[in-house]
């Protein structure tokens, strides 16, 4: 089963179809069936390539990568499969508690006690399509748990038309994230409005 196309893949396929439609018609004859078959094969091949090839597969909801220095980089593209992310972090020796919440909600404070040390080098950055967390070596020690909870979503739909002041709304993104390390238990996430 093929995964649904993302916006880039859909736009690329649409552009390719437009290009094929714009090609001049040829005179009826022996070459026409080949031309149509060739165009159909190009569209089919492009559709197959768009679905299968980017990143040697469909785009995953997250990735976990370990650098040469032992730094773990987590990239979250969609708020899906928190348990899978926890399992992948465990393969890198990191116990984790990952929670994804509906748009603009968050966990109430107090569900865990952060470790009593400075977590230098641990970073998070969030954009409209990606959350990146960097965990340097030793950030999460044996017996400790990396805690990450997040929610996010668009703040306004984009528009191709400029407003009265000439500014085009590209859309926005609002997100909430909580990430830390604890040596104790992690309680249930009590969801509260963001």
One domain, residues 107 and 149:
yes
Residue 73 banded pLDDT, cuts 50, 70, 90: very high
Burial 39-66 (b: 16+ CB within 10 A, else e): eeeeeeebbeebbeeeeeeeeeebebee
| Residue 2 included in any domain | no
Expressed as residue numbers, the domain containing 107 is 62-193
Q: Write down the mean pLDDT value for the chain.
A: 74
Count of domains forming the chain: 2
One domain, residues 126 and 72:
yes
One domain, residues 183 and 162:
yes
Residue 24 banded pLDDT, cuts 50, 70, 90: low
One domain, residues 186 and 99:
yes
| Residue 162 included in any domain | yes
One domain, residues 85 and 159:
yes
One domain, residues 138 and 161:
yes
């Amino acid at each position: 089963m093929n995964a649904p196309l993302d916006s880039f893949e859909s736009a690329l396929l649409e552009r390719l179809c437009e290009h094929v439609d714009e090609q001049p018609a040829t005179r009826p004859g022996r070459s026409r069936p080949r031309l149509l078959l060739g165009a159909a094969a190009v569209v089919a091949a492009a559709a197959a390539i768009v679905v299968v090839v980017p990143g040697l597969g469909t785009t995953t909801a997250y990735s976990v990568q370990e650098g040469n220095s032992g730094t773990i980089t987590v990239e979250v593209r969609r708020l899906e499969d928190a348990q899978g992310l926890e399992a992948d972090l465990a393969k890198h020796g990191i116990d984790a508690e990952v929670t994804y919440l509906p748009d603009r909600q968050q966990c109430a404070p107090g569900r865990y006690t952060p470790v009593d040390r400075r977590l230098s080098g641990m970073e998070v950055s969030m954009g409209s399509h990606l959350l990146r967390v960097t965990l340097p070596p030793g950030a999460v020690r044996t017996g400790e748990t990396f805690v990450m909870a997040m929610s996010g979503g668009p703040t306004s739909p984009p528009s191709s038309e400029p407003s009265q002041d000439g500014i085009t709304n590209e859309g926005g993104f609002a997100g909430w994230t909580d990430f830390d390390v604890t040596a104790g238990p992690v309680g249930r996430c009590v969801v509260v409005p963001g």
